[in-house]
Amino acid sequence: MPLFSPRRYQPPFYPTRRDESLPMRAFTSFERTVKGWLFGCRMCGNCILQETAFVCPMTCPKGLRNGLCGGATPDQCEVDPSRPCTWYVIYERAERMGRVDKLLEINAPIDGTRAGRETWLDMFNLWRERKQGPYPGDFLFNREKFNDEWDRFFYALRQPDWWQGDARYHPPAYQEPVSLLEANLRTGAFVTTGEIAPPLGASGDIILKKVGWLKDYVVAANFTDNASASARMNSMASSKICIDAGLEPVMQLQARDRSRVVIESDAMGAAGLGIRNILCLSGDHHRFGPAPMAKPDQFDMDAVQMLWMLRRMRDEGQYLDGRNIKNPPQFFLGAAASPFGAPPQYEAIRAEKKVNAGAQFIQTQPIFDYEGFVDWLEALDKRNLLGKVYILAGLIPLKSAAAAHFMADDVPGVVVPPEIVKRMDEAGDKEGQQEQGVAIALEMIEKLKNTPGINGMHMMAVHWEAIVPRLVEESGVPRPVVKSLEEASDSALAGEKPADVAQLA
């Protein structure tokens, strides 16, 4: 067990080229041993210990460099229950050290050419070349100057020119809404989105059928991207079928299984097909998928990094490698949030990073515990997020008592209060349970409609999509207001803010 970090999940990297001299290889080996013993270091060559309370984030099984995943708990990592969650350790130590704001900087994905190589000599060389300190003398006689130079030196070290991450909010650099979802959210009306699971087979008929049920009731439909590490028709193809059937899609795009090159390429391909709404996710670990499991190191980026990269492709017209994009894509970028995954103050830090990186809307995990959800909203409000991002509260109508037990016991990051499970248990036969599920959903919609800071709901009635029209009608939430982008750009709604949050506090 390392002195300052949880045990690493993966072995350290080795250089892609072994062309170093023997003394340098011996030095690298020495550095690997010492840093492994201290930090569980994986020799990623892109050290961000300064930002993570001196706990190495690369010990996380997903290699997440910008915060925890939705399934983290205080007791254990969701991937390997024999170890603690690296990010819980980071948040707790950062709180103790008064370094929480350091966690807001958007950290770069690793540069593969640096992986496995020594960094101590590199660090010394950079310090010598810059000639800007920090100098030991200042540590003794001018601590303020030393601290300032220290921060600037380590920023230069950890933020390569091709990334330049920071802790600031980057609003979108365009005016007119790029999608119907964005246009409807700008009206200030309560907006409903739905979710359709892509089919297991090659036929798109089932998508056409479900789009037919939903299209007069929701503004857009999400298509999951091999959720739970289990293969289905891909989200991009499903989204295109949805567009052709007359409904706008939200294409979910997850980092798992994709290098940065494939993420850029898939996002650009989606834009070429007319897909505007992209929900950026890190993705479930392969451990949650069916056997045989893929090799474990399948994360090149995380959701925060995806948002940062796709926003820059759109607003700065550049690929990550610096090449210019002739016709930049138009994206309305979204992120997921897990109000019950970790304490609200930790989840709010993660949400702030996503919003700063480029998230314009958030869809949450399903809400059954309204009071817990309001705690999370208040934590977001404290971080001044509610005026910057549209929030769609997740909702799952429970179809059976078994579904309620499954959500309560087996889905990480979801809280189902015991009274809800009890109501479902006591609802009688199949039909009675479905009616009880509808009643619970309608009660929750009523609360959500009247919650300041909420812009709508995301209804995840997966495998029960036919219930969505009834829920929309009986709850009285509006149907889509803006039906074409021309209509939106003609209106005065093009610049409205995400939410009226004045009443929340």
Residues that bind ligand SF4 (CB under 6 A): 60-62, 64, 68-69, 71-72, 77-79, 85-87
Residue number, 72 or 493, with CB nearest to ligand SF4: 72
Smallest separation (angstroms) from ligand SF4 to the CB of 6: 7
The letter for the amino acid at 134 is P
DSSP per residue, 139-198:
HHH-HHHHHHHHHHHHHHHHS-TTT---SS----S--S-SSHHHHHHHTT--EEEEEEPP
Nearest distance, CB of residue 105 and ligand SF4, angstroms:
18
Min separation Cβ 234 and ligand SF4, Å: 24
How wide is the angle at C-alpha 329 spanned by C-alphas 236 and 222, nearest 5°? 35
Q: Tell me the sheet residues that pair with 278.
A: 251, 333
Tell me the C-alpha distance between 297 and 299, whole Å: 6
Least distance to ligand SF4 from the beta carbon of 254, Å?
14
Q: CA 176, 177, 180 angle in degrees (round to 5)? A: 150
Q: C-beta of 77: minimal distance to ligand SF4 in Å?
A: 3
| Shortest Å, Cβ 57 to ligand SF4 | 8
- Residue pointed to by tokens 């989840």: 347
Question: How far apart, in whole angstroms, are the C-alpha atoms of residue 411 and residue 35?
Answer: 36
The nearer residue to ligand SF4, 156 or 411, going by C-beta atoms, is 411
Rank residues 198 and 413 by Cβ distance to ligand SF4 and give the closer one. Answer: 413
**CA-wise closest residue to 462 among 115, 222, 142, 122:** 222
Considering beta carbons, is residue 81 or 428 the nearer one to ligand SF4? 81
In the complex, minimum distance from the CB of residue 364 to ligand SF4, in angstroms, rounded to a whole number: 18
CB of residue 266 to ligand SF4, shortest distance in Å? 23
281 touches 227 (CB < 8 A): no
Nearer to ligand SF4, 16 or 228 (CB): 228
Name which of 201, 270, 194 is nearest 235 in CA terms: 270
The dihedral through the CA atoms of 367, 385, 109, 66 has a sign that is negative
The amino acid sitting at 163 is W
Using the minimum distance from each CB to ligand SF4, give the nearer residue, 88 or 361.
88
**Nearest-angstrom CA–CA distance, 304 and 62:** 13
Burial status of residue 352 (CB atoms within 10 A of its CB: 0-12, 13-18, 19 or more): buried
108 in Cβ contact with 46 (< 8 Å): yes
* 258, 266 Cβ separation under 8 angstroms: yes
**Minimal distance, residue 73 CB to ligand SF4, in Å:** 7
